[in-house]
A and B are shown apart, each in its own frame.
Chain A
Amino acid sequence: MAEASVDLEAAPIAPRRRARRRPLPSSLVAGGLVFAAIILVAIFAPLIAPYPFDEMHIRDRFHAPSLTYLAGTDEYGRDVFSRMIYGARLSLFMGVLATLVSLVIGVPLGLLSGYMRGAVDEAVMRILDIMMAFPPIMLVLLIITLTEPSLWKTSVAVGFLFVPAIARLMRSVCLDLAGEEYVLAARARGEGASYILLREILPNAWPPIIVEGSLRVTFAILLAAVLSFLGFGIQPPAADWGLMIAQARGYIERAPWIVLAPGLAMCVTVVAVNLFGDGLREYLDPRMSARRG
């Protein structure tokens, strides 16, 4: 029996599995493009809008959509199209800020809870349970009515509202990942909790968090609109989609365009962001690229 050489067992260099570029999901592309367009519109609102958002054209009150006023005018003769464009600024700002607030608080809470387990976990989760037990609108109203309403406060309040959901998601992801063998291997070489959480677990926890975050943006926009509608969010004469709908609801039969335009804008934004989030989930899911066969 001939003694074979060392090379018998050395794995021959397998051709590097081609980094197969996966095509982007169409929902990601479509949602992303529309969302990007909305962000651009919001940023360059003063350049795009034909009129300042608060400029009144007293003679043209309740003007139907025309070439002069693309989406008509409201009860003060303000250009609805311009207000809609300016409204994107406030809505997006609130949506994004609220989501950031919820991520900044929720992600560390969830990570700690999921990794430490035991008493820390119980404490954090029960506090979040209490938060979730409050009707969300009441909670935000409480925060806002105690102080003067402002854009910032509304956003932060909405963000707080989302903390339990984000933290719970993060916790469940973390619970899963903490059992992965590379995490055990890190513990076996004596890595501290901060290294394990930040370098081993967090990089693998991002996909669901990014997706959840993108969906939260739409919830926040809707919630902000509700608050404005109730009169607790943005104060007139600022242009906010929710506020616009609230103020125009008395004229819905006479001049439906005043309600339709911001409603449509909100609709498009929500659908675009949702599509984007869905596409992102699909794209980031490693199972989608799993080799078959």
Chain B
Amino acid sequence: MDDALLSIENLTVTYDTLAGPVTAVDDLSLAIGPGRAVGLVGESGSGKSTVAGAVLDLLAPGAAIDGGRIRFEGTDLASHDRATRRALLGRRIGSVFQDPFTSLNPAIQVGDQIAEPMMVHLGVGASEARAMTLERLDEMGFARPAEIAGAYPHQLSGGMKQRALIAAALACEPKLIILDEPTTALDVTIEAQIIDLLERLRTEKGLSYLFISHNLGVVRRVCEEVYVLYAGRLMERADTDALFDRPSHPYTRGLLASLPRLQPPHRVKRLSTIPGELPDLLAPPPGCIFEARCPFSAEGCDRPQTIRVAGVRQMTRCHRHAEIAGEAWPSRARLGHDFSRKGFGDALVNVVGLKKRFRMGGLFAGIKLKPGLPPRIVNAPPVVKAVAGIDLVIRPGEVVGLVGESGSGKSTLGRLLLRLEDPTEGAVEYDGLAIERLPQRALRPFRKEAQIVFQNADSSLNPRKTVGETLRRPLALFGIVPARERAKRVGDLLEMVRLPRAYATRYPHQLSGGEKQRVAIARALATEPKFIVCDEPVSALDVSVQAAVVNLLADLRDELGLSYLFISHDLAVVAQLSDRIAVMYRGTFAETGTADQVLSPPFHPYTLVLLASAPRVDGSAMPDRSALLRDAAPGAGAPDGDGCPFFARCPSRIEGTCDELPPPRRTPAKGHAIACHLKLDALPTRFVPAAPAMGAAPGAVASAGPE
């Protein structure tokens, strides 16, 4: 493809690690035509960011391009000396990285950070650069570009920072932009705005994108063609619709199958998974790199695989792609015996009027001198209302999903329920016992019954303790089993979370992310609890691993009759597991109800935005989100008084009412509550989820439309 803007030919990148060389990218060829949006998809360890590093000359120390060529506009980048190459890259290729929170220098005004590359690469003067900066910011959809240019990064929200960074990437009018997980650190509503912006910019400016992401839904929205990477090898390449509708490589099919769909939960059905984990790249298998995890593996898979044509502009690295096209990706129903439930019993956890305020700053932060005669000293420390009046009931065996964006107070609520934080106001009852004021010592029986699983698999296990030590401690602390039986119980616990008993002697760094999360679950189970707060337990995991952990939690709930408070920012994951869902916004519940009720109309305006913003892989058209959300940062300009916390962003707000009075509780059906001033018949109902579109996805059942 000679007309390609960027073409990567047989690229091989090797990392020189202490344990030996690791091939992070193996023989990858990729071409981006002018004006094309090309996606590069893979899970962690797939080498996708290494590709970006190789193109941008930003490889980590120890990494080297071992073979292949990278040509930009027909010229081999390696033919330039380093300085020329850097200048060329800076001028002609823009880049946007994952974390907008660290990508801007906090000590320099945003405008100067955008103007700087113009002055370096285009040689324009300061005033001209400033004018161009304002122009760029204007293109990003900022209402007042001059204000943004004069602001320091801490004054901007995450979404605004990312838009400013895109403006900086466009500073020198490049033709190609490399976007490395540009929306991963953002909330879903902000992510949707950034995606819209990227789409608009591409059409207006004829840009090409190399869009690197693990998020298949986002890739489907943004890209026209997709390359799927696994363990540094290209597995499949296809036009977007073909890839999502007719995936040919087993890995692609597995990825799509393991995605949770926005649909009410199924007590029996489980997510599909890709068993196993990445191969050891120090000693990669000689044959197909995916064989060990492939449900379709057969004779011949132990030989090296070549790229084959699988369809129109579709290539795949699987010799069986045609044979297996008709076979469904294996899925399964519930394991183990049936913990059947005839409705839930009385409340296990009962929360009434719960509030938590955090004071900001140090001990003396609130002390100010009030002018007057004589001046008075007042102490009014700034406070944050993390939880602002929550009522919640969780019954035995029930899973309550808690959805909200960052800063909504969902983690604080989870910690309040476990008395890891002391509430400012309100009551928390566990099994009839009021725990909100009990001294820690008296909480001991409660501590045994209520446990927690955290998000970050890396930080949730003590790196200095073996898995066995970690699991033995709760057993000893609560005297669950006599000392001589503890080793056996540790093994039992490991088996309960589907890990081999031998893992007891391993240290956390010898485990993969999914394995660590299983150990964290086993630790919570060790005290034989009845209630577990799951605080974003799968958010840090890859899609294929996430599905397995969600299934495990579902199995354990059924086997042991557990109740969960399942916290997540991902509505699809929550929907997968929850009997009831609570949508949280700035410390209050916007909507609560059964999973069916929350996922189908009528909606709270905020629930509707969440549903509409979630990127979907089924190719259904996205609803027009611009009508669903006012352009305000999350939480910006919320009323100080009793008004609705969603007021600033709500498109259907009633001025004079919503900003002054607390929203009343509307109950469209028994058990369904929506906190909104809109009358029941005025609540939005217009969201119609798309029909299932994919062959490979078992039963993507859309939630009921309004009809």
Check A293 against B45 for contact (C-beta < 8 Å).
yes
Q: A12 vs B22: C-alpha distance in the bound complex, in angstroms? A: 23
Contact status of A11 and B330, CB under 8 A, knowing A189-B477, A200-B462:
no
CB distance from B509 to the nearest CB of A (A): 7
* Range of interface residues on A (Cβ < 8 Å): 35 or more
Partner of B19, one of A20, A118, A191: A20
Residue of B nearest to A193 (CB): B440
- From A200, which residue of chain B is reached at the shortest CB distance? B462
Would you call B17 and A292 a contact (CB within 8 A)?
A: yes
Cross-chain contact B502 with A13 (CB below 8 angstroms)? yes
Q: Is B443 within 8 A of A190, CB to CB?
A: yes
Assess whether A135 is interfacial by the CB under 8 Å rule.
no
For chain B residues 413-450, which have a beta carbon within 8 Å of chain A?
A: 415, 418, 420, 440, 443-444, 447-448, 450
A293-B15 CB under 8 A given contacts A9-B551, A184-B454: yes
Closest to B515 in A: A11
**CA gap between A100 and B362 in the complex, in Å:** 32
Residues on the A chain within 8 Å of B332, using CB? 3-4, 8
- Please name all residues of chain A whose beta carbon is closer than 8 Å to the beta carbon of B45 when the two chains form the complex: 293
Contact with A along B465-502 (1 / 0, CB 8 A): 00000100010011000000000000000000011101
Q: Verify if B280 is at the interface (C-beta below 8 Å from A).
A: yes
A129 close to B (CB within 8 Å): no
Q: Verify B443–A11 contact, CB threshold 8 A.
A: no
Verify if B567 is at the interface (C-beta below 8 Å from A): no
Chain A residues lying within 8 Å of B500, measured Cβ to Cβ, are 11, 13
Q: Which chain A residues (177-201) contact chain B, with CB distance < 8 Å?
A: 180-182, 184-185, 187-191, 200
**In the assembled complex, which residues on chain B have CB atoms less than 8 Å from the CB atom of A19?**
510
**Contact A14 B363, beta carbon cutoff 8 Å:** no
Q: Which residues of A10-45 have CB atoms within 8 Å of chain B's CB atoms? A: 10-20, 22-23
Once bound together, how far apart are the Cα atoms of A12 and B50, in whole Å? 28
Q: Which of B202-258 contact A (CB under 8 A)?
A: none
- Residues from chain B with a CB closer than 8 A to the CB of A18 are 19
Residue B62 at the chain A interface, CB threshold 8 Å: yes
Interface contact B506-A292, CB-CB below 8 Å: no
Residues of A within 8 Å of B113, CB to CB, are: none
Q: Report A158-170 CB contacts with B as 1/0, cut-off 8 Å.
A: 0000000000000
Task: Check B29 for interface membership: any CB of A closer than 8 A.
Answer: no
Kindly provide the distance from the CB of B587 to the nearest chain A CB, expressed in whole angstroms: 21
Is the CB–CB distance between A182 and B498 below 8 Å? no
B residues 309-366 in Cβ contact with A at 8 Å: 328, 330-333, 335, 362-363
Contact B448 A189 (CB under 8 A): yes
Check B552–A9 contact: CB distance below 8 A. Answer: yes
Contact B60 A204, beta carbon cutoff 8 Å: no
Complex Cα–Cα for A10 and B496 (A):
10
Q: Which residues of B contact A20 (CB under 8 A)?
A: 18-19
- Give Cα A29 to B420, complex, Å: 45
Tell yes or no: B40 within 8 A of A by CB: no
Bound together, the chains give a CA A286 to CA B459 distance in angstroms of 13
**CB of B461 within 8 A of chain A?**
yes
A188 touches B420 (CB 8 A): yes
Within the complex, the shortest CB–CB distance from B558 to chain A, in Å, comes to 14
Is B463 close to A, CB under 8 A? yes
A138 on the B face (CB < 8 A): no
Taking the complex as formed, is B24 at the interface, i.e. its CB lies under 8 A from any CB of chain A?
A: yes
Chain A contacts with B in 248-293, Cβ cutoff 8 A: 286, 289, 291-293
Q: A17-B510, A188-B420 are in contact. Are A23 and B18 (CB under 8 A)?
A: yes
Asked if B594 is at the interface (CB within 8 A of a chain A CB), the reply is no
Most chain A C-beta atoms within 10 Å of own C-beta, residue among B418, B464, B506: B464
Complex Cα distance, B280 from A250, in Å, reads 68
Whether A11 lies near B518 (C-beta < 8 A) is yes
Among A11, A190, A204, which residue has its beta carbon within 8 angstroms of that of B444?
A190
Least CB distance from A14 to B in Å reads: 6
Is residue B132 within 8 Å, beta carbon to beta carbon, of the partner chain?
no
Interface residues of B in 265-291 (CB under 8 A from A): 273, 275-277, 280-281
Residues of A with C-beta under 8 A to B335: 6
In the complex, whether B460 has a CB less than 8 A from a CB of chain A is yes
User: Is A1 among interface residues, defined by CB-CB distance under 8 A?
Assistant: yes
CB neighbours (8 Å) of B277 from chain A are: 11, 14
Interface residue A47 (Cβ < 8 Å from any Cβ of B): no
Q: Within the complex, what minimum Cβ distance (angstroms) separates B53 from chain A?
A: 11
Complex Cα–Cα for A9 and B544 (A): 11
Q: A267 to B330: give the CA distance in the assembly, Å.
A: 69
Asked if residues A15 and B275 are in contact (CB atoms below 8 Å), the reply is no
Asked whether any CB of chain A lies closer than 8 Å to the CB of B548, the reply is yes
Cα of A79 to Cα of B514 in the assembled complex, Å: 67
| Residue from the set A22, A180, A293 with the largest chain B CB neighbour count within 10 Å | A293
B331 touches A187 (CB 8 A): no
Interface membership of B451, Cβ < 8 A? yes
Question: What residues of chain A lie closer than 8 Å to B18, measured between beta carbons?
Answer: 20, 22-23, 289
A203 within 8 A of B: yes
Residue A55, interface by CB 8 Å? no
A4-B331, A9-B552, A181-B456 given; 16 more Cβ-contact pairs under 8 Å: A1-B328, A1-B331, A3-B333, A4-B295, A9-B275, A9-B548, A10-B498, A11-B275, A11-B500, A13-B502, A14-B512, A181-B454, A185-B520, A187-B420, A189-B477, A190-B448
Complex A-B, nearest 3 residue pairs according to Cβ-Cβ distance, in ascending order: A190-B447, A181-B454, A181-B460
List 8 interface pairs A-B (beta carbons < 8 Å), by A numbering. Answer: A7-B275, A9-B551, A11-B514, A14-B515, A17-B510, A184-B420, A292-B22, A293-B24
